[in-house]
């Protein structure tokens, strides 16, 4: 069944094709090709989506503004949920471009993958991506999931690695978005990879945000899944435990694109990916959290600083 996004895009595509036909009739001598080797920037609108996560929305906005600055038409469909919600939409063709994370995306399609390092994960992801989609070049920027505890809890039990949790003798509760309970890095992953048994799970639907932080600080949970590029880690005296056995895969920012993203648009996004560093992502996230700036402002400033806008 077509959703609202698909209907909008179908209508827009029909209008675009009709306009193109009329223009061709009136100006037959005009060359429709451009500097992208034949890919027309006046073609279909690129629908860009994002997770319901502020950092992901910032990256999606960077993509959108970079493409618009290069003459492409884009439509924003941001804050549309987590992977279980938006990936079926992407696979169905309703979304054309989406900022993703290599490790988590690979595990969605191949839960039993043995890839762990950056290069291996990217190669496996390239092979696992369904027909009609492709991943563009991965960025140096990372936003890694991590098991996180308070500094006080880490000090009490002498914790620095996930393995160290084996010495904790009090019950452990892990908090995170509800889908994490059944993902490979949920309680079952802790048991399988690290032998940490008996961890319970409580859903907190804010992607490691203030509700999760408060639950840690109140000792309602002892472990939380929080992204390493989250500025609240240092601000709230939280510690990411070192994942020595790789329960979390290497996770670089990577654009997931449909075949409707042509070579010219892909080249624009590849430049963005190459320019974005881990420090850049942390700084942009901090501006969102601390200054409460909208994603559009943060994206515009970053693109200007990188001379990409």
Decide if 100 contacts 251 (C-beta within 8 A). no
One DSSP character per residue, 287-300 reads: HHHHH---HHHHHH
The per-residue pLDDT for 82 is: 87
CB 78 within 8 A of CB 60: yes
Residue 6: its H or E element: helix 4-26
With a cut of 50, list the residues of the chain below it in pLDDT.
1-38, 40
Give one DSSP letter per residue of 171-215, joined into a string: --EEEE-GGGGGSTTSHHHHHHHH-----EEEE--STTSHHHHHH
* pLDDT tens-place string over residues 239-257: 999 999 989 999 999 999 9
Helix (H, G, I), strand (E, B) or coil at 252: strand
Beta-sheet strand order (sheet of 173-176): 200-203, 173-176, 223-227, 145-150, 238-240
With left for phi above 0 and alpha for psi between -120 and 50, is residue 40 left, alpha or beta? beta
User: DSSP label at 138?
Assistant: P
Q: pLDDT tens, 104-122?
A: 999 999 999 999 999 999 9
Residue 253: the pLDDT is 98
Please state the pTM of the whole predicted model: 0.78
d(CA 143, CA 40): 34
Domains identified in the chain and CATH numbers: 39-142+250-305 (3.40.190.10), 145-240 (3.40.190.120)
């Amino acid at each position: 069944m077509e959703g609202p996004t698909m209907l909008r895009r179908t209508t827009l595509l029909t209008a675009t094709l009709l306009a193109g036909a009329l223009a061709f009739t009136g100006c037959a001598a005009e060359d429709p090709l451009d500097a992208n080797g034949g890919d027309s920037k006046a073609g279909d609108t690129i629908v860009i989506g994002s997770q319901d996560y502020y950092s992901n929305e910032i990256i999606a906005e960077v993509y959108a503004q970079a493409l618009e600055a290069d003459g492409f038409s884009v439509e924003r469909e941001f804050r549309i949920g987590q992977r279980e919600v938006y990936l079926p939409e992407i696979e169905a063709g309703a979304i054309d471009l989406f900022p993703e994370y290599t490790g988590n995306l690979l595990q969605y399609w191949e839960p039993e993958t043995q890839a762990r390092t950056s290069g291996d994960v990217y190669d496996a992801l390239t092979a696992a991506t369904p027909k009609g989609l492709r991943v563009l070049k991965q960025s140096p920027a990372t936003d890694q999931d991590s098991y996180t505890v308070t500094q006080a809890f880490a000090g009490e039990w002498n914790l620095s690695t996930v393995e160290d949790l084996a010495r904790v003798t009090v019950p452990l509760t892990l908090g995170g978005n509800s889908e994490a309970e059944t993902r490979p890095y949920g309680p079952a992953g802790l048991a399988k990879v690290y032998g940490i048994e008996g961890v319970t799970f409580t859903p907190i639907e804010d992607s490691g945000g203030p509700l999760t932080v408060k639950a840690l600080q109140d000792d309602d949970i002892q472990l939380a899944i929080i992204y390493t590029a989250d500025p609240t880690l240092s601000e709230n005296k939280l510690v990411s435990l070192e994942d020595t056995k790789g329960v979390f895969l290497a996770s670089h920012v990577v654009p997931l694109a449909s075949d409707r993203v042509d070579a010219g648009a892909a080249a624009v996004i590849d430049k963005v990916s190459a320019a974005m560093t881990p420090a850049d992502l942390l700084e942009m996230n901090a501006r969102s959290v601390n200054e409460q700036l909208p994603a559009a402002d943060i994206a515009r400033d970053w693109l200007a600083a990188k001379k990409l806008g």
